[in-house]
Structure 1
Amino acid sequence: MTTRPRLRQLEALKSVVDHGSMTRAAQSLEISQPAVSRLLADLSHGLGFTLLKRKNGRLVPTQEASYILPDITRVLEVLKNITDTSQNVHDKTAGHLSIACLPGFATSHLPAVVTEFLKARPDVTITLEPDRPERILEWIVGEQYDCGITDGFDGHPAIESTTLNVRTVCIFPKGHRFQALKEVDAKQLDKERFVHTRRDSNFYRSLNDVFRKASVSPIHVVETRQFTAACELVAQGVGVSVVSELDARTYDGRLDFRPFAPRVPHQISLVRPIHKLPSKITLDFLEDFKASLSDFEV
């Protein structure tokens, strides 16, 4: 009855076949020649047949050994791949990262961050899934994604989060009277055609509080979920808006913007499952993303 061979025995056989000599095989494996002989003797005994024969001064595999050598080669290659991949993961150069994000980020700021992140990690793959905040939180709670980028996050016991406050600006079409200003005050938005975020968002509520305190009433023209959509509408002359400076700068040249007063920061939350151990790649990506916003934080 055959016994299961050990990895070191298979390595010894493969090395002897490759080098044709016990001595050179021992040097390759960095063990003694008697150790190689013992490994092969034990393997031969366990398998129940002779492994090597001498031919023209070289050790060559027997017919039986030749039959199993392709399988031995595949096993050793698979183990080497596992070792190499594990090292890459340890060095944070390989692995997979799944990111759920707001739709606006998927087409504006995030691609540049992902591009830089992958430059140093050529073997990393990424899944990027844009959706609304409610769905992102469902995915993170369900541990379906490694991390998420969202807004309006009020906390959840299954989610760990970091909130960043991003500057906002007033955007307006080219040639608008606001071009003459260094800063747009809330009072100057009275009776202005206004493009705004959805009414149930934290940002809209904060902005509306500012308007109420300033006793101004913008003319609400379009409600949209995404800052990028607001930028596009403003660029086409629909009205003015208040959005994150991050998004406004992606439309620089197509519209103008000025600092908005009083400050109403847009809150971005980086979230991940609290009960799922994060990979080093996940943590590195979150740090890189935070760093990419440093110039825009309040």
Structure 2
Amino acid sequence: MSIPIRQLEAFHATCRKGSITRAAEYLGISQPAVSRLLSSLAESVGFELFHRSAGQLQPTAESAILLREVERLLDNLETIDRLSHDLTDRRAGHLRIACLPGFAVSHLPKVLADFLAGRPKLRVTLEPDRPERILEWIIREHYDCGISDEYSTHPAIRVRMVGMRTVCILPKGHALSARHEIRPEDIVNENIIHTRRDSGFFHQLRDVFSARGLKLGSRIETRQFTAACMLVAAGAGVAVVSEMDAREYESRGLVLRPFLPETPHYLSLIRPPTARSSLLASEFMEMFEDSLAPFRVS
């Protein structure tokens, strides 16, 4: 037996309002329409729904039992309706983000806090890890979106590359602080802190030095720009890093200077194919990309 929801709504309204007239007003339909709905429901369930008492309709003993279940059902339907609107409006759900460790402690928290504002029902999982792991998670759809710095053409993902400005960072009081810009020949004899040798950015930087007949020296190798910033601030050397990361640590004693020739650091914003990417993840990634605007290469 399949009972239309409208019949149950008419039954519930009549029970609570005590008359077909008031039930019709509450539902915004005519009295004959309510009567027809109640008649059809009584025929479906096989028992009388109401009897009259003191001029009002009162539920029969069977209807009183049915009413409790109908109220539970209508409450659940209302909850589902609210949830569906929340999901459509991106106010609820579960957003799973994988990112480079440096982002988890620098630029991303503020963006995420702004995204969560006004979304009290939204849950977030933020998982920092290395680029290879982020790619694996997105391919397997364990996470909704990823922020990395390695490029991949894997067919199970979509990648948007964003070029970010880089700067040379120096410890406070360094002799090169007097220069308005820094070139490879200025730092070739410095203790250079750089990203891992297997990273795309290291290859770019090495090529810039090689094009000038210079060898990129190596003092400290680290995966993250954030670590490089802290090492430079501590006086361990100099580095070329993303300006966005450098600005986060500028107040700790870093001196920032433009690095020429321009050597962008490329971010990879990764998502599953469109059909499997949630509206929530799409909106977050758009907001995150917008937040990068002040640091993007022109």
Mind listing any 5+ residue stretches in structure 2 that lack a counterpart? none
- Residues 49-128 of structure 1 correspond to what in structure 2 (within 5 A)? 49-128=47-126
Q: Does 1:193 align with 2:196?
A: no
* Other-structure match for 1:145: 143
- Cα distance in 1 for partners of 2:171, 2:38 equals 80
Counting aligned pairs with the same residue, the percent is 51
Which of 111, 128, 131 in structure 2 is aligned with 1:130? 128
Please give the per-residue CA displacement for 1:177-233, whole angstroms capped at 9, x wherever unaligned. Answer: 122111111111122111111100000011011122233345422111111111111
What is the DSSP-based 3-state SS (H/G/I as helix, E as strand, rest coil) of the residue aligned with 1:156? coil
Q: 1: distance between equivalents of 2:175 and 2:60?
A: 91
Which residue does the alignment assign to 1:229?
A: 227
Match of 1:207 in 2: 205
* Aligned-partner Cα distance in 1 for 2:56–2:225: 74
- RMSD of the TM alignment (CA)? 1.5
CA–CA distance in 1 between the matches of 2:180 and 2:119?
42
Question: In structure 2, what is the equivalent of residue 285 of structure 1?
Answer: 284
Query: Structure 1 pair 166/127, CA: closer, same or farther in 2 (3 Å)?
Result: same
- Give the CA deviation at 1:112: 0.8
Query: What do the CA deviations read for 1:94-143 (whole angstroms, capped 9, x no partner)?
Result: 22221111111111111111111122433322221111110111111112
The separation in 2 between residues aligned to 1:180 and 1:287, in whole angstroms, is: 39
Residue of structure 2 in register with 1:259 after alignment: 258
> What pairs up with 1:38-53 in 2 under 5 angstroms?
38-53=36-51
For 2:126, the aligned partner's letter is L
Which residue identity lines up with residue 263 of structure 1 in the other structure?
A: E
Structure 1 residue matching 2:218: 3-state secondary structure: strand
Deviation, structure 1 residue 271: 1.0
Q: Which amino acid aligns with 1:143?
A: E
AA at the equivalent of 1:38: R
Corresponding position of 1:158: 156
Indicate conservation of the 8 Å contact 1:198/1:223, yes or no.
Answer: yes
Q: What is the rounded CA distance, in whole Å, between the counterparts of 1:21 and 1:230 in structure 2?
A: 75
Which residue of the partner structure matches residue 34 of structure 1? Answer: 32
Does structure 2 conserve the Cα–Cα contact (< 8 Å) formed by 1:158 and 1:273?
A: yes
Give me the whole-angstrom Cα distance separating, in 2, the residues matched to 1:99 and 1:289: 11
CA contact (8 A) 2:204 2:263 kept: yes
Q: For residues 107 and 84 of structure 2, what CA distance do their matches in structure 1 show? A: 31
Moved more, 99-108 or 123-132: 123-132
Deviates more, 1:195-204 or 1:255-264: 255-264
- TM-score of the pair, normalised by structure 2: 0.95
C-alpha displacement of 1:176: 1.1
**Post-superposition offset of 1:69:** 1.7
Secondary structure class of the residue paired with 2:133: helix
- Structure 1: runs of 5+ lacking an equivalent: none
Cα pair 1:118 1:124 within 8 Å, conserved: yes
Contact 1:53 1:61 in 2 (8 A): yes
Aligned residue pairs total: 296
Aligned residue number for residue 297 of structure 1: 296
Deviation above 6 Å: which 4+ runs of structure 1?
A: none
Whether the 8 Å CA contact 1:10–1:72 is kept in 2: the answer is: yes
